[in-house]
């Protein structure tokens, strides 16, 4: 790595080297995980490079290749698995200056990777009254490119499934890391080569996304006496084809009372479990009937709240997805969480009954290949790494998938196998392996046995003295 040569070659592309700022920009939300927190806390890049155009990204990658400088791309840094942590140091590639909306039509939008999702929706709502199909709970901070590179779904996944599903990304513009970087327009199945690859095999600089109709989604909180009832109700709402909802999330007591401090006045007791819902205005009368029918307690509905009350509340999506855990961490830094998938309500019940208050349940209702499933983001009252592993193993033994959020590699956090298309594309697009090093086991350790039960270790971390 010749950092000085690299810097000199960048011309007037903005570079930051103040160590405190660089360290701050070298971090994502890895600290959600106690394991990643201790493992990655010393990780930092040497500089942050902030190109302002695709041409400048090409320059950065050409010079990075030439001077062998590791490059870790970064949007707003809101990922939770260390996706944007620079395990080999080098340079952070900050893409937030590429924030232009390129074109908007009735059913799609093309924008640069660094645009903040809320800003993008503001532009498409203004132009065609359309909005993105889904967004993470970090909607007001996160970038489009970061979501595509490091996320999988979120608010809206109850209708549209995940980013991985055919048709949910229409096109990506990607810059390769070679002697002469190429700017590729990927469409169709090629999109999956770089989506959710953490920027390990090309830098996403532009994306074309389908739009759906925008509604003034109504925030709703419904109370239930116990966690199972809340989950059962949420499952029923999710199966109602005529009730248009963007978000359905049951959260077990005492999480709503203990962690949703702004909403606490609406929650009747510490024992109350709550279902968070975002419903289309036209769905509200039928949803209210449905709540009555299921003997739910309508704690809050945004369409009937006074403006001064609403103004003091965060939107419901900032209680859901990874924001549930975030709110918990602010109040009790010893907690953590898991990512699970329960194929049906019986498995949810098993988890509630088995773990009780050690793992207060939090479900996100989602579509998974055309079926309504219970995607779990339960809070875990963390004791030891061994116990966390035991909880994971109990889930797997009971037929419940776990996507481990306490691992920073693509494979260990995902399906525990190599994505051969992503690996093949990395060989083409990043032949010297300097894009986000240490995140793709298949690249660094092609013979790693995922069935071994072992956790993979990136030796580069030791080099940096960071593990």
Residues 6+ apart with CB under 8 A from 311: none
Q: Does 344 bind a copy of itself (CB under 8 A)?
A: no
Q: Does 159 bind a copy of itself (CB under 8 A)?
A: yes
| C-alpha–C-alpha distance, residues 198 and 204, integer Å | 10
Q: Does 346 bind a copy of itself (CB under 8 A)?
A: no
Find the part of the chain contacting a copy of itself (CB under 8 A) among 159-167, 254-262, 356-364, 459-467. 159-167
Q: Does 287 bind a copy of itself (CB under 8 A)?
A: yes
Nearest in space to 439 (alpha carbons), one of 411, 462, 459: 411
| C-alpha–C-alpha distance, residues 102 and 208, integer Å | 9
Rule CB under 8 A: choose which of 108, 119, 140, 268 binds a copy of itself.
108
Q: Looking at the DSSP assignment, which residues form a beta bridge with residue 326?
A: none
Q: Which residues 204-223 are close enough to bind a copy of itself by CB under 8 A?
A: 210-213, 215
Q: Does 161 bind a copy of itself (CB under 8 A)?
A: yes
Q: Does 18 bind a copy of itself (CB under 8 A)?
A: no
Q: Does 103 bind a copy of itself (CB under 8 A)?
A: no
Asked if 116 and 140 touch (Cβ cutoff 8 Å), the reply is: yes
Size of the site for a copy of itself (CB under 8 A): 46
Q: Which residue has the tokens 């990780």?
A: 43
Find the part of the chain contacting a copy of itself (CB under 8 A) among 42-50, 163-171, 349-357, 407-415. 163-171
Min. distance of Cβ 28 from a copy of itself in angstroms?
Answer: 26
Min. distance of Cβ 386 from a copy of itself in angstroms?
Answer: 37
* C-beta of 11 vs 285, nearer to a copy of itself: 285
Distance of CA 395 to the CA centre of its chain: 22
Min. distance of Cβ 157 from a copy of itself in angstroms?
Answer: 8
The DSSP code sequence of 296-351 is -EEEEEGGGS-HHHHTTS--GGGTSTHHHHHHHHHH-TTEEE--EEESSHHHHHHH
Q: Does 283 bind a copy of itself (CB under 8 A)?
A: yes
Nearest in space to 302 (alpha carbons), one of 324, 287, 321, 322: 287
**Using CB under 8 A as the criterion, what x/- string covers residues 125-154 for binding a copy of itself?**
----xx--x---------------------
- Please state at what angle helix 385-397 crosses helix 345-355, rounded to 10 degrees: 150
Q: Which residues 175-204 are close enough to bind a copy of itself by CB under 8 A?
A: 187-189
- 3-class secondary-structure state, position 58: helix
Q: Which residue has the tokens 């990075």?
A: 64
Min. distance of Cβ 244 from a copy of itself in angstroms?
Answer: 7
Q: Does 289 bind a copy of itself (CB under 8 A)?
A: yes
Asked if 373 and 339 touch (Cβ cutoff 8 Å), the reply is: no
Min. distance of Cβ 368 from a copy of itself in angstroms?
Answer: 8
Q: Does 5 bind a copy of itself (CB under 8 A)?
A: no
Asked if 202 and 184 touch (Cβ cutoff 8 Å), the reply is: yes
Q: Does 307 bind a copy of itself (CB under 8 A)?
A: no
**Using CB under 8 A as the criterion, what x/- string covers residues 362-401 for binding a copy of itself?**
-----x-xxxx-----------------------------
Q: Does 53 bind a copy of itself (CB under 8 A)?
A: no
* C-beta of 247 vs 411, nearer to a copy of itself: 247
Q: Does 101 bind a copy of itself (CB under 8 A)?
A: no
* C-beta of 171 vs 414, nearer to a copy of itself: 171
Q: Does 282 bind a copy of itself (CB under 8 A)?
A: yes
Own/partner contacts of 411-416, CB < 8 Å, gap of 24 or more, are 411/440, 411/441, 411/442, 411/450, 411/456, 412/441, 412/455, 412/456, 413/81, 414/196, 416/450
* C-beta of 240 vs 418, nearer to a copy of itself: 240
Q: Are strands 108-112 and 340-342 parallel, antiparallel or unpaired?
A: unpaired
Q: Does 293 bind a copy of itself (CB under 8 A)?
A: yes
Other Cβ atoms within 10 Å of 450 Cβ, number: 15
| C-alpha–C-alpha distance, residues 252 and 238, integer Å | 18
Min. distance of Cβ 42 from a copy of itself in angstroms?
Answer: 40
In terms of phi and psi (left: phi > 0; alpha: psi -120 to 50; beta: otherwise), the region of 434 is: alpha
Min. distance of Cβ 390 from a copy of itself in angstroms?
Answer: 33
Asked if 464 and 88 touch (Cβ cutoff 8 Å), the reply is: yes
Residues 6+ apart with CB under 8 A from 317: 135, 137, 139, 155, 247, 278, 323
Min. distance of Cβ 162 from a copy of itself in angstroms?
Answer: 8
Asked if 392 and 416 touch (Cβ cutoff 8 Å), the reply is: no
Residues that bind a copy of itself (CB under 8 A): 106-108, 129-130, 133, 159-162, 165-168, 170, 187-189, 210-213, 215, 238-244, 280-283, 285-290, 293, 367, 369-372
């Amino acid at each position: 790595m010749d950092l000085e040569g690299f810097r000199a070659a960048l011309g007037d592309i903005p570079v930051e080297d103040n160590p405190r700022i660089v360290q701050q920009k070298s971090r994502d939300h890895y600290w959600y995980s106690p394991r990643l927190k201790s493992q990655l806390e010393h990780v930092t890049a040497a500089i942050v490079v902030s190109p302002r155009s695709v041409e400048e990204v090409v320059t950065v990658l050409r010079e990075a290749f030439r001077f062998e400088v590791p490059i870790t791309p970064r949007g707003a840094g809101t990922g939770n698995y260390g996706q944007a942590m620079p395990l080999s140091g080098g340079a952070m590639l900050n893409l937030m200056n590429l924030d232009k909306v390129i074109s908007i039509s009735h059913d799609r939008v093309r924008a640069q990777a660094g645009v903040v999702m809320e800003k993008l929706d503001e532009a498409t709502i203004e132009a065609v009254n359309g909005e993105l199909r889904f967004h993470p709970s970090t909607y007001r901070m996160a970038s489009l490119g970061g979501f595509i590179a490091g996320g999988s779904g979120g608010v809206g996944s109850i209708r549209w499934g995940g980013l991985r599903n055919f048709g949910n990304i229409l096109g990506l513009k990607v810059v390769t890391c070679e002697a002469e970087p190429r700017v590729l327009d990927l469409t169709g199945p090629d999109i999956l080569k770089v989506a959710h690859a953490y920027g390990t095999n090309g830098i996403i600089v532009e994306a074309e996304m389908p739009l759906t109709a925008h509604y003034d989604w109504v925030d709703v909180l419904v109370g239930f006496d116990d966690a199972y009832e809340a989950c059962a109700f949420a499952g029923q709402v999710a199966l109602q084809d005529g009730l248009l909802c963007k978000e359905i999330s049951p959260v077990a007591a005492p999480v709503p009372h203990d962690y949703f401090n702004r909403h606490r006045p609406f929650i009747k007791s510490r024992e109350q479990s709550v279902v968070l819902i975002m419903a289309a205005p036209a769905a509200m009368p039928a949803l209210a009937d449905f709540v009555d029918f299921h003997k739910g307690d309508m704690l809050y509905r945004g369409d009937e709240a006074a403006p001064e009350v609403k103004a003091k509340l965060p939107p419901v999506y900032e209680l859901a997805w990874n924001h549930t855990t975030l709110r918990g961490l602010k109040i009790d830094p010893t907690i953590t969480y898991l990512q699970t998938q329960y194929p049906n309500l019986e498995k949810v019940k098993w988890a509630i009954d088995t773990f009780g208050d050690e793992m207060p349940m939090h479900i996100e209702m989602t579509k998974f290949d055309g079926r309504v499933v219970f995607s779990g983001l339960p809070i875990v009252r963390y004791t030891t790494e061994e116990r966390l592993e035991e909880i994971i193993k109990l889930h797997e033994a009971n037929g419940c998938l776990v996507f481990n959020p306490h691992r920073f590699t693509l494979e260990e956090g995902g399906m525990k196998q190599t994505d051969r298309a992503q690996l093949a594309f990395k060989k083409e697009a990043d032949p010297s392996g300097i894009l986000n090093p240490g995140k793709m086991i298949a690249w660094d350790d092609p013979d790693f046995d995922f069935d071994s039960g072992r956790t993979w270790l990136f030796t580069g971390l030791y080099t940096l003295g960071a593990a």
